[in-house]
Chains A and B, each alone.
Chain A
Amino acid sequence: MTNGKDVRIGVFVCHCGLNIAKSVDCKAVSEYASKIPGVVYSVDYEFMCSETGQAMIKDAIKNYNLNRVVVASCSPRLHEITFRRVVAETGLNPFLLEMANLREHCSWPHMHEPEKATIKAKHIVRASVERSKLLETIGLTKQPVKPFALVIGAGIAGIQASLTLADYGFDVYLVERQPYIGGKLAQLGGVFPTEDCGVCIPPRPTELHRKCMYKAEITSNPRIKVYTQAVVKELEGYIGNFKAKILQRPRYVSEKLCIACGLCEDVCPIMVPDEFNLGLSKRKAIYLPFAQAIPHMYVIDLQNCDKCGECVKICPTKAINLEEKGGESEVEIGTVVVASGFEEFRPNGFYGYGKFSNVITQLELARMLDPSGPTQGLIKRPSDGKIPNKVVMIQCVGSRDKATHLHCSKICCMIALKHAKNIKSAYPNADVVICYKDIRLAGKDYETYYTDCKEMGVKFIKGDVSGVSEQTQGNVKVTVKSETIETQLDVELLVLTCGIIPSQGTDELAKTLNLSLGPDGFLAEAHIKLAPIDTKLDGIYLCGTCVGPKDISETVTQAMAAASRAAIPMMKKEVEIDLARSVVDEILCVKCKRCEAVCPYRAIKIQETGIPRIIEVVCKGCGTCVEECPVGALQLRHFKDQQLYAAIDGILAE
């Protein structure tokens, strides 16, 4: 740090038209500044940010050989970038500029007290001048960016992000926890507002016809490597230079050899509930997750397998190996897209779910309505397989509710209306009642569902469901309290419209990636409005329902956006950052590792010597480590202790 002796400071006081000059005597401030030791030039001018004003600064830097520039004008939020550029154009380091905020912090709030405002303006300028004396040159550093991306989650968001990234020309590692890709979308059957098959993906921009997922190029695209039954176990590094450890559970069936002939399934003696159909059907211990599953091959659920070996014997391609071990691969990537998706809220204990067999969720109903689902598209109530005539849906289960989750799950109104419409189309004589708090349908073409449903005779009751009790023959009685009356409904099938919650393991993933969670457990974006795809960490982006409830079109849009965000640094090939970050004084350091523990960005790594190393690309320059260091061994460039003390001295100077 300079001792402040060789500084030649120029002070430029801006009138900002009358915005500053009306309540602050700018001439007096400039004169005051000229008398501060170290100041060799001081001037006031109408608009410092104008071309003329900028030229004044540049000329003064040259003519007076200035090495510090103080611009007393508006908030640095507005013009710090402008004046840093002006200073840089003269060859001076841009960090040798200091701004004094005379407009927002002085002339405007104190416009009725011009005398006092002028005194305060002097203090503000003095603080900037004193601080500027201790400012240091700060350089830039560049880091190369590896042209590979990691996409976590292969639902519609992850698939779309991967395809977009592959289109950009980058290699993608797509990691999916389930044995198949497609995520929740694969379970939904027909999806609104067009009610086409969920396992179809949208056409690529250059193609007009839709493709089913298994004909899409995800598994055949040479740029996309898919890891199913895999999780990201570790992620270390920083933008441009991440290392991810991918842990893959064994499938026990060789990807190369399996021809999906199904002989193994026939001989397997074990039957367990099929989780893809939410227990509405059974599957074997060796199974194809669903008819169109990609990758299209069998998988063994070893937890339920008794290793009888029948499948091994019958397999014509010798694809099965019950002793297979899982794999661990390490990949190096430049950026990460997280698309870990959602889960339907499990309403155990709500409205008799789990207790009465004819209380199901919308996702279970979706499986029934799926033509390739467990009931081939027929609605059969679980207790007796009868087609129900009286169907009631309860909205906002586990949503907009203080006891469970506060958020609105956004898509459930549409899901309920879509299903109500499906039921009415298939069984026009069936009674369908929707008990709701509010119906929210803000999406393109969504409102038509509401009018269609009303026309078809779906009944809507606004009110709270106060009780569900069992009747004879598997029926339930639902009591709904609206503002005026209490209605009792005899129901043959009760469908709970459950809210959506972050997918299982989102909190673990957040820990692995060092991301933050919002109050409802969804991953937190950097800024809800202005950076909805970015995270607190550079190089990691979010899309889809892991951020919060979303419909498919929003998810796809966001996935494309996330892919673009992830592509930007990879296309630039390097990231450039200034070095206004923390620095370590190795002599003062007592190796207590406190800094590593408090850094919110994992930007500090303890070296073998015990001394911390700051990873400058990751450090965001908050200064938390500086204050938490017990011995003062850390400093934050541009906001070092001495620089802060100088500003305090200045602002309190007589």
Chain B
Amino acid sequence: MSEKPEAFEPVIVAFCCWWCSYGAADLAGTSKLDYPTNVRIVRVPCSGRVGPMHVLHAFQRGADGVIVAGCLKEQCHYVDGNLRSEKRVLILKRILEDLGLSEKRLEMIFVSAAMAPEFVRLVTDFSNQVRELGPSPLRGIRAVTIIEKREALIEILSTISKMTSKEPSLMLPELEYQIFGEPLIDEKKCTVCGSCVNVCPEDAIILEEGREKHIVKHYHSFCSVCKKCEEICPEKAIKIINILDLRRLIAKIDKIDRVGNLTKCKICGQFFASEDLMLSLKNKESMHRVSPDLLDICGKCRRKTVLTHLGMLTSGVRTVSSLKGLSD
């Protein structure tokens, strides 16, 4: 496809759902209705199967415009796949616009299998719309080959940002598409206990253990909104929100969420647990029976103290069961 600027013909990829829009395209053929030859159709079972990666994949392979075509609203053969798809398309349109690639290069259309003239009109209009925009700046881009869904998505968005040299600034709160998230941590409640870190399947929350302080770090780009941390948090300090912050995603900026200063062991002087965690433990009713002297010392010293107190250290008996009994 040689394209002189004056004879530019855009390449359009149309993802057509099997039940309606693919049928509308079939009927356009059967009715011998003309539309631009550069509209090329990819069959999908439902428009709900099409996601941002498929659209972006088409762009990075040289499409100038992409159409996602579904059944009429309320008439999706899979109940609501088209509406879910529309939500994603609308989000992606805003992302494309923010990255300097016109949102007009992507449209969602809704046609029934009987609406061949409408299909022809919509794809022809779209083709004209894209022709005016000119060739996609992403033509000839180095295609991303990463398989992992979100990693690939971020990579391709970064590449687009580089190509268009546009700094992203889009921030979408309350996203209706679960793809990236962020924990809101209640600073007053969090004790930096690290429970959330242990359950996060995506390593979106990690704990950096320093000598004098612990830092809980969070990655927006890794959080998949599974809410495991929200469920496990003993202090109910975490609330997961569904957001998309394009600047941070692309720059891969992690955010320091919480720093926990550690308590010094009164006996050996080693730092052992966060001050907040100790405070929270002391406030717990079940802990009132435990001597405060035992709480202010590290695990190692505590064991020694207890055993010495019971006269067991000298006798050398150090079984697990006897230790369990002691803590009661």
Contact = CB atoms under 8 A, between A and B. Distances in A.
Interface stretch (B78-86, B272-280, B301-309): B78-86
B33 interface: yes
Contact of B149 (A76, A594, A631, A651): A631
B42 A644 contact: yes
B201 interface: yes
B243 interface: no
A490 interface: no
B86 to A, nearest CB: 12
A516 B38 CA distance: 38
Interface centre among B40, B80, B147, B150 (most CB of A within 10 A): B40
Nearest to A623: B49
B43 to A, nearest CB: 8
B37 A111 contact: no
Given A104-B26, A641-B53, A591 B226 contact: yes
A116 interface: yes
Interface string A107-145: 111111100110110011001000000000000000000
B131 to A, nearest CB: 15
A620 B202 contact: no
Nearest to B226: A592
B84 A598 contact: yes
Given A119-B37, A652-B11, A594 B178 contact: yes
- Please tell me the size bucket of the interface on B: 35 or more
Interface string B55-89: 00110011100000000001001111100110010
B41 A101 contact: yes
B153 to A, nearest CB: 10
A620 B81 CA distance: 12
B159 interface: no
Interface in B170-219: 177-180, 201-202
Contacts of B120: 109
A627 B50 contact: yes
A387 to B, nearest CB: 49
A647 B150 CA distance: 21
Interface residues of A, number: 56
A630 B225 contact: yes
A627 B179 CA distance: 10
B226 A644 contact: no
A536 B77 CA distance: 8
B38 to A, nearest CB: 8
Contacts of A111: 32
B299 interface: no
Interface string A83-121: 000000000000000000101111111111100110110
A621 B45 contact: yes
Nearest to B63: A652
B32 A647 contact: no
A654 B32 CA distance: 27
A652 B61 contact: yes
Nearest to B27: A104
B37 A649 contact: no
A591 B201 contact: yes
Given A77-B23, A103-B29, A621-B45, A628 B178 contact: yes
Interface string B234-247: 00000000000000
Contacts of A639: 44-45, 49
A521 interface: no
B40 A124 contact: yes
Given A104-B29, A120-B40, A651-B13, A591 B228 contact: yes
Contact of A623 (B26, B46, B225): B46
Contact of B54 (A127, A621, A644): A644
A645 B57 contact: yes
Contacts of A382: none
A55 interface: no
Contact of A117 (B37, B85, B147, B202): B37
B245 to A, nearest CB: 16
A201 interface: no
Given A647-B42, A651-B13, A109 B28 contact: yes
B26 A105 contact: yes
Given A590-B226, A630-B225, A109 B148 contact: no
A590 B203 CA distance: 11
A624 B50 CA distance: 8
B100 interface: no
Contacts of A107: 29
A-B pairs, top 4 by smallest CB distance, nearest first, are: A623-B49, A632-B149, A104-B29, A622-B78
